């Protein structure tokens, strides 16, 4: 009997010089999971012809989709944010600061990427990839990053030899949460920040392959969710009055190694307080919606790292 192969593997990424053209990976990093897959929308033929069965298949559109789940490394996250619907300003030399702000462009303004996934020696080369949604969250005191990918196509490539990063993740004792910005709080143990640009693959009539021509973005939703100790009604009353607050979350390992997430005008979308038992702490789950500030920005992300990206 033929034996199956194991599940070990690795992943690597690279910016594409030419969109939808495979580029060998330049950055290798550990992940926690991935669900990338090649999707084809086959047209199954069932015309009326004195048969109850499918009689064949016609080529349909294809795309790549799935998530990459990993620890939020400051020298890896910028690769994904460069391929999201955001503008970027780079500053510094040697120690770089990348400031990302939302773009209204219908397509990714900076880069597309090739993502190479090796599943126990079998190579998959996904091309034309952009980030349609990304999430930062805390899990077991570790800062995690999830990138939802949409891409154009997939092809087998040669097996690369990885050189993995040795960057340490952000852990306990490295987080500063301010609500509003400038006032640090110490009563939250759950934090999640998500940007969803409602990305969709776009197909066109062409003779250059079945893959998506590009990925377009739709209306944006920026959300942040905190779980806090509930001490007084002050914050709850601000929720009822639709009072906007600024929120800043910063994970820091040093002056030049940090990730900062900022919502300049966040309005509480819900406020849930549950009394679970006699003598229990009273806790509040508070999801926020990010709205634009006076400069038209609903969020900003500042990453400090030694990684030199263009």
pLDDT in tens, 190-204: 999 999 999 999 999
pLDDT in tens, 38-92: 999 999 999 999 999 999 999 999 999 999 999 999 999 999 999 999 999 999 9
- Average pLDDT (167-176) is 97
Whole-number Å distance between alpha carbons of 282 and 280: 6
pLDDT in tens, 10-32: 999 999 999 999 999 999 999 99
C-alpha to C-alpha distances, 216 to 20, 131, 297, nearest whole angstrom: 14, 11, 20
pLDDT in tens, 208-244: 999 999 999 999 999 999 999 998 899 999 999 999 9
Task: Give me the residue label for tokens 């016609």.
Answer: 58
Model confidence at 8: pLDDT above 80: no
Note if the pTM is more than 0.75.
Answer: yes
Count of CA atoms in the C-beta half-sphere (13 A) of 300: 16
Exposure letters 195-218 (e unless 16+ CB within 10 A, then b): bbbebebbbeeeeeeebbbbbbbe
Six-digit token string for 13? 């990424």
- Sequence-separated (6 or more) residues with CB below 8 Å from residue 204: 213
Whole-number Å distance between alpha carbons of 135 and 158: 31
Any idea where the domains of the chain sit in the sequence? 9-41+61-305
Six-digit token string for 82? 């460069």
CA 26 vs. chain centroid, Å, equals 19
Alpha helices in 204-253 (DSSP H): 234-240
Query: What is the SS3 assignment for 45?
Result: strand
- Average pLDDT (111-116) is 96
Task: Give me the residue label for tokens 């805390």.
Answer: 138
**CA dihedral defined by 172, 176, 177, 180, rounded to 10 degrees?**
170
Which DSSP symbol is given to 279?
A: T
The lowest-confidence range among 31-40, 84-93, 150-159, 253-262 is 150-159
């Amino acid at each position: 009997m033929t034996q199956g192969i194991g599940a070990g593997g690795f992943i690597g990424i690279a910016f594409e010089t030419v969109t939808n053209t495979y580029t060998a990976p330049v950055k290798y990093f550990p992940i926690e999971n991935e669900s990338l897959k090649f999707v084809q929308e086959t047209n199954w033929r069932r015309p009326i012809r004195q048969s109850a069965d499918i009689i064949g298949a016609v080529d349909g559109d294809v795309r790549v989709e799935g998530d990459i789940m990993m620890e939020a490394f400051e020298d890896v996250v910028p690769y994904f944010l460069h391929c999201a619907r955001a503008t970027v300003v780079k500053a510094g030399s040697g120690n770089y600061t990348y400031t990302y702000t939302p773009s209204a462009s219908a397509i990714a303004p900076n880069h597309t990427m090739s993502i190479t996934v090796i599943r126990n020696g079998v190579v998959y080369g996904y091309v034309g990839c952009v980030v349609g949604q990304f999430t930062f969250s805390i899990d077991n005191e570790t800062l995690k990053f999830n990138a939802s990918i949409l891409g154009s196509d997939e092809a087998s490539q040669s097996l690369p030899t990885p050189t993995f990063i040795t960057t340490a993740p952000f852990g306990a004792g490295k987080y500063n949460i301010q609500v509003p910005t400038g006032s640090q709080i110490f009563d939250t143990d759950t934090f999640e920040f998500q940007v969803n640009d409602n990305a969709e693959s776009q197909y066109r009539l062409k003779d250059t392959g079945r893959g998506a021509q590009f990925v377009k973005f739709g209306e944006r939703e920026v959300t942040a969710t905190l779980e806090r100790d509930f001490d007084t009604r002050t914050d709850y009353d601000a929720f009822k009055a639709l009072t906007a607050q600024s929120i800043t979350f910063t994970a820091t390992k040093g002056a030049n190694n940090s990730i900062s997430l900022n919502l300049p005008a966040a309005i509480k979308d819900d406020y849930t307080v549950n009394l679970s038992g006699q003598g229990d702490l009273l806790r509040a789950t508070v999801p926020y919606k990010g709205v634009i500030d006076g400069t038209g920005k609903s969020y900003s992300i500042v990453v400090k790292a030694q990684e030199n990206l263009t």
